Amino acid sequence: MATADAVFTAGDRNGGMLTARLSAMMFMQFFVWGAGAVTLGLVMQTVGIGNLIGNAFSVGPIASIAGSFLLGMAAARYVSPKMLMVILHLLGGVLLFMLPTLLTPATGSTFVWLLLGYMMLYMPTVGLANTIALKSFGDRTDNFPFVRAFGTLGWITAGLIIGWAGLSASPQIFRVAAVVSIALGFYSLTLPNVEADKPSDEGIVRQVLCVEAFGLLQQRSFLIFILCATLISIPLAMYYAYASPFVGAAGITNVGGTLAIGQMSELVFMFSMPWLYRRFGVKPLLLVGMLAWALRYALFAIGDGGGSLWAVYLGVALHGVCYDFFFVAGAIYTGTIATPKGVNAQAQGMLTLFTYGVGMLLGSQIGAFLYAQLPANPTIADWHQMWWYPAIAAALIAILFQLTFRDNSRGDHRMGVTA
C-alpha cells in the first residue's frame, strides 16, 4: 500500500495531480474552520448566550497551545500525519454534529466545554495539513503558497454559503462544518503517505517547550517583535469574536458573505508578500499592518447602518492588510532570524504560541469584559463605544513598535529602506 502510494505520488509530481489533491485538502481544512467560526459570535448572541462569546473564542487559543504543541508534535512521531488527519477530522465531525443541541441558555457552559474538546482535535490538523503538503512537495516548496491559497478560498466559500443559505445566525453552521469535516476525514485516506517525524537528539519536552527557539529572544529586535506581535493579537481576537454581531447590528443580513470580503482581500495580498518583503524590508510592512488594525477599528467606531455603512465594509476589507502585512510578514521575519540557528520550526511554533495562544486568549477575555459593559441587545451606538478601545490600543502598539524596533536580520537595508 505504501509502495503504491509512493509511486502515485511520484507520478503526481510530473503533472498537476499532487497539487490538485493537496489543494482540495487545504480547501476543506479551512472550510470547516470558517463555517463554524465566522458568525459564531452572532449565533451565540441570537440564542441568548452572548455573555459567553469571550469564553467561546478563548478555547481556540487554549487549543493552539495544548492541542498543537502536545498532540500535534508528540503524536506525529508515532502515527503518520495522514492517519492523524483521518482520526482527528472524523472524531471532530461527530462533536460538531453535537454542538448545535447545546446552544441554549441552559446549556451554554456545556457548549463552551464541548467546543474546547473539538478545537483540541481541530487545531493540530492545521499543522498536519501543512506538513503533508510540504513533505509531499519535497524540494518544490514554491508550490506551497498556491496550495495554501485554497485554504483561504475554503474559508471564503464557507462564509458565502453560510450567508447565502441564511444561516449566519443559526446553530446549523456547525452541521455544515460537520459534513465537510467527516468528508475530509475520509478524503485524508487518499492523501500521500508521508512519514512521521523522526525523533531528534533533543528530548520531546525540550522541543514541545521550544527551548532553543526561546534563546532567540536574547536578540533585542526579535524580543520587541514578539512582544508587539503578542500585543497586537489582543485586538485581533476582538475582531474574530465580535465582528459578526456588530455587522448584524449595522443592519447587514448577509453577515457571512460580508465577512468573507476580508478573506478575499487577504488572498489578494498573500502572493505579493515575498516581493514586498524583499522590496521594503520587515519594519515598514509590520508597521503598516499595525496601523491598519487601528484604522479598521476606527472605521467600525463610526460605521452604522445609514450613510456611514461604507465604513463597515471598508473596515472588513482591510483584513488583507491587517493580517498579511503583520502575520505573514512576521512569519517570514521569524524565518530569517531562526534559520541560521537551525530552529525555524520551533520559532514558528513559538510565534504561534504568543500570537494565537497568549495574545488571542488575552484578547478574548478583554473583549468579553468590554462586551459585558454593553446592554443585552446593543445598538450600533453601543458598538461604536466598544470599538474605540482596540483602535486606540492598536495605534499605541504601532507607536511603541516604531520607536523601539530595528531590523538587524540583514546587513543591507533593502534598496535604501532603513529599519
Residues 6+ apart with CB under 8 A from 10: none
Cell numbers 481576537 label which residue?
237
CA distance 13 to 17: 7
Q: Which residues contact 232 (CB under 8 A, 6 or more apart)?
A: 289, 290, 293, 326, 359, 394, 397
Q: Tell the residue number behind the cell numbers 519535497, with chain if given.
A: 138
**C-alpha dihedral (376, 380, 382, 387), degrees to nearest 10:** 120
Cα angle at 218 between 362 and 229, to 5 degrees?
Answer: 30
Instruction: With a cut of 70, list the residues of the chain below it in pLDDT.
Output: 1-15, 67-78, 139-142, 196-210, 339, 342-346, 348-349, 408-419
Check: CB of residue 168 under 8 Å from CB of residue 162. Answer: yes
Q: What is the pTM of this model?
A: 0.75
DSSP tally for the chain: helices H, then strands E: 21, 0
Contacts of 114 (CB under 8 A, 6+ apart): 95, 98, 99, 102
Q: What are phi and psi of 219, to 5 degrees?
A: -80, 125
248 contacts: CB under 8 Å, gap ≥ 6: 42, 45, 168, 169, 255
Residue 71 confidence (pLDDT): 54
The residue whose grid cell reads 465582528 is 243
pLDDT at site 415: 34
Task: Give the model's pLDDT for residue 324.
Answer: 83
Find out whether 141 and 13 touch, Cβ atoms under 8 Å: no
pLDDT at 179: 97
pLDDT of 95 reads 97
